[in-house]
Every structure is written in C-alpha cells, then in structure tokens.
Amino acid sequence: MAGDALIELRGVNKHYGKLHVLRDIDLTVGRGEVVVVIGPSGSGKSTLCRAINRLETVESGSIKLDGRPLPEEGRALAQLRAEVGMVFQSFNLFAHKTVLANVMLAPVKVRKQKKDEAARHARELLDRVGLASQADKYPAQLSGGQQQRVAIARALAMDPKALLFDEPTSALDPEMINEVLEVMRRLARDGMTMVVVTHEMGFARSAANRVVFMDDGRIVEDRTPEEFFTAPRSERAKDFLSKIL
C-alpha cells in the first residue's frame, strides 16, 4: 500500500431486500493508491462505490475516510461528498449551464467560494483535462469524451481526497475512451487516490496498484495487476478474464 490508509472498509454488509449485495467486505485504499475494481455485472461494484460515498447506507461493518467513520447526515455528509468525488458512467452535467459554470457550481454553492476565484480555479482544471478552449460551450456541443473530462474537472474542483469512478468509459464511443483514460492516468501519476470500476484491462494493468475482483457481493481477489492477470487464483476470476480478454 502506498502511504497510510485513506479509505477503510471492515466487515461491510448490505442487502437489497433478500439480495445480499455486499458480503463481509474488507478493503483498504492507501493514500495515493489506485485500486481497480472488476467483476461480472451484478457483483456489487457500483454498490461498493456508492457505499464509500454514502449514497447508500450499509447494515453492518465500518467505513472510514481518513480514520473517521462516515458521517450520517447534514453538513458533515455534504462535506464528505465533496471530499470523495464521484464520476459516473453518465456524465450528469447541467445541460443549461456552460462547461465553466458546471465546474464552478459546487465550489460556489457548497464551499461559498467567490465567483472570480472559482472561475479561475475552474479554468485551470479545464486546462488540466485538455479543455481550456471549451469553457464557454454547453455540454451538448461537446463529444462524450469531452463531457466526461468536464465531469472529472467538476469532481476535482472540490479538491477531493479521493475520486471514485464507476465505469467512466462504458458509455463512450471507442475512439473517445483513451482521452478519458489518459486524464485518469495523469491523475494517478499525480498522486490522486482512486477507486476505479472499469472493464478497461489495459488501464488496470498500467495504472492500478491493486486489482480487486468481486463476485456475488464478495471480494474474491485483491492483488497486484501482475499477479492477478498472470495467475488469477479463483475459478471465477479465470472464467471472467477468459471472457473479456
């Protein structure tokens, strides 16, 4: 693990009705670490991400960020959501706001940042994701890959301690996938702590410190990419890899 623990789950369980979607999950993500989560559809990957951001509650176990339990509600919860940014498959940008306004929105509304300061920071972030020249456009005028890069800039605008990505390239046309992965690789190199649910095995191999394989609500393997891809231990992982590689 690189550095100390930033995200820590211990004995986490969750059901949807009778469906046991997270089973005794233990997971530690170190500061500056990149953990790629893979596994079949329905194995609980999105629920895991949502639990870390407390978009879902869990029934048992503990989830800590930076050594502190996740807050239950109120301002502390809003603060947590700012500290752990989330990037989804669908970009969820505000259609009637410009790219710049989308990136400035949360810092101004939640952090009460001054508009000119928020705008300056937003332009820097847009530059970082290669979109400085698109600041005054509306989301619909951008490609899917560009919109997803705006969504990443928007998450970065809150200076998060960690970023969660839930299949960030799954909705993109193939030719746009790389530009998004390249931005993510750069964030990883710059030391951002990241949990990334993805089917992009090239990204997992090149950017991940660890690969977590989930099946049926459980973490079945948690190993380095070299170990995982060259010699998966479980039959389920072997079977999964044989289908997607």
Binding site for Mg ion (CB under 5 A): 45-46
- Closest by alpha carbon to 163, among 55, 71, 86, 59? 86
* Beta strand 193-197 pairing with 162-166: parallel
Least distance to Mg ion, CB of residue 99, Å: 27
Is 102 a residue that touches ligand ADP (CB under 6 A)? no
Distance separating alpha carbons of residues 82 and 53, to the nearest angstrom: 9
> Residue 35: which region, alpha, beta or left (left: phi > 0; alpha: psi -120 to 50)?
beta
Smallest distance, ligand ADP to C-beta of residue 214, A? 7
Instruction: Find the binder of ligand ADP among 3, 19, 191, 206 (CB under 6 A).
Output: 19
| Contact code string over 107-146 relative to ligand ADP, x by CB under 6 A | ----------------------------------------
Nearest one of 213, 208, 200, 212 to 239, comparing CA atoms: 213
Q: Specify the amino acid at residue 207.
A: A
For β-strands 5-16 and 84-87, DSSP reports them as unpaired
Binding to ligand ADP by residue 16, rule CB under 6 A?
A: yes
Nearer to ligand ADP, 45 or 54 (CB): 45
Q: State which residue, 42 or 71, has the beta carbon closest to ligand ADP.
A: 42
* Between 19 and 132, CB nearer to ligand ADP: 19
Binding mask 26-65 for ligand ADP (x = CB under 6 A): -------------x-xxxxxxx------------------
Instruction: List the single partner that 19 binds among Mg ion, ligand ADP, none, CB under 5 to 8 Å by kind.
Output: ligand ADP
148 binds ligand ADP (CB under 6 A): no
> Which residues share a beta bridge with 100?
none
Strand residues in the chain grouped as ranges (E): 5-16, 19-30, 34-38, 60-65, 68-69, 84-87, 162-166, 193-197, 210-215, 218-223
| Closest distance of CB 17 from ligand ADP, Å | 7
Q: Work out how close the CB of 85 gets to ligand ADP at its nearest, in angstroms, rounded to a whole number.
A: 18
Contact criterion met (CB below 8 Å) for 12 and 63:
yes
Instruction: Kindly determine how many residues on this chain lie close enough to bind ligand ADP according to the rule CB under 6 A.
Output: 11
The phi and psi torsions of 120 (rounded to 5 degrees) equal -65, -45
Interface contacts to ligand ADP, rule CB under 6 A = 16, 19, 21, 39, 41-47
